[in-house]
Amino acid sequence: MKITYSIIAPIYNEIDNLPELYRRVKEVMDSNGEAWELILVDDGSTDGSTEKIRELAAKDKTVRPVIFARNFGHQIAITAGWDYARGDAVVIIDADLQDPPEVILDLAKKWREGYEVVYAVRGEREGETWFKKFTAAAFYRLIYSITDVKIPVDTGDFRLMDRKVVNVLKQMQERHRFPRGMSAWVGFKQIGVTYNRAARHAGVTKYPFKKMFRLAINAITGFSYFPLQVATFFGFVSAGISILAIPVVAALRLAGSHFFEGQTTTLVSVLFLGGVQLISLGILGEYVGRLYDEAKGRPLYIVREAPED
C-alpha cells in the first residue's frame, strides 16, 4: 500500500504522552482519508516508553517502532525517522503534544498547493516561562542574523516536507545536526503556517537551557563562519590598538610622563590579549572538534529493532 503521510515523533521518556499522541494523530489522519504511518523513534527511553511503543505497534500496524540501542539525541532521532519514512509527505512532530497534531492538516493543505517544505511558525506559546520565551526569541533571531542560510524565526522542527526534500536531507550525514537549518539550506518552495503552541501535555521538558545552548552552538557552527570572523576581528582590533599605542607611549616617556609607570598597565594588556587568544582558541576548538567527529566515520545511530519494509 502506498503511504501518503509519514508522521515522525522522537520519543525520550514520554510514556505519559504516548497514548494521547497516538489517539490524536490517528483521529486526525484517519479523518484525512489517506494512507499514513506513525514512526515512533525511541531514543533510549528508560521509563517504559519502549514497551508502550511496542504495545501500540502490536495493536495498530500503522505504528512503526524504531528502537535505538541507546540515547543518541533528538536531532539524530529525527534523522532515523527520515531514513525509515515511506510517505510522499513527511511530518516531524514533538511527542509532548505542544505541537497539536490537528495542525498537520493545515500543513498538508499547503503541500497540496505545491509547497515542498511547510514549516509551522509559533504564534502563542502556552505554558512557558518568560525566560524560555525570551531566550527562544533571542536564539531564533541570532541564528537568522548570523547564519549563511536564512532560517525562519520562531520555528521549531514541526514541519511537513515533500519526499524529494527528504531524499536530499538523507544524503546529509553530518553528526552535529540542526534539522530546521538543514531543511532551509536545501531550498525548494517553502512557506510557513502560524499556529498556537500548546502547553506540554505531561512530563517535563527534555530541552533545558544546557541542551538549548548546545543546539545553538550546533546551529551557528553548522551554518556560519561568524565566530571565526569575530575572532579575526578581535585580533585586528588588538593589533591596531597596539600599533597606535607604541608611538603614544614613546612620546609620553620622552616627555617625562609617569602615566605608564608600574606593572598595572602591562598586566591589564597581557590579560586582555591572553583572553582574546583563549577565546579564539576555543572557537577554533569547536570547529576542529567537529571535524574530528566527522573524520571518525561512526554511524549516526544504532538501531536495536526496526520495522521491516
Which of 11-15, 217-221, 305-309 has the weakest average pLDDT? 217-221
pTM: 0.70
The pLDDT value recorded for residue 6 is 92
Distance CA 174, CA 300 (A): 8
Distance CA 15, CA 95 (A): 10
The pLDDT value recorded for residue 268 is 62
For the record, the C-alpha cell of 309 comes out as: 519494509
Checking if the pLDDT of 105 tops 80, the result is yes
R_g of the chain, CA atoms, integer Å: 25
Distance CA 90, CA 6 (A): 5
Q: Which of 58, 63, 59, 51 is nearest to 9 (CA)?
A: 63
Which of 41-50, 65-74, 128-137, 190-199 has the weakest average pLDDT? 128-137
Of 93 and 224, which is predicted with more confidence? 93
Query: What single-letter amino acid sits at 253?
Result: R
Of 271 and 19, which is predicted with more confidence? 19
Distance CA 16, CA 288 (A): 40
Query: Is 191 within 8 Å of 118 (Cβ atoms)?
Result: yes
Task: Give the model confidence (pLDDT) of 117-175 as tens digits.
Answer: 898 887 766 656 666 667 666 766 776 666 667 777 777 788 899 998 999 988 887 77
Task: Give the model confidence (pLDDT) of 196-252 as tens digits.
Answer: 776 555 556 655 566 666 766 766 666 666 776 676 767 667 666 666 766 766 676
Mean of pLDDT over the chain: 78
| CATH code for residues 5-224+299-305 | 3.90.550.10
Which of 110-114, 176-180, 287-291 has the weakest average pLDDT? 287-291
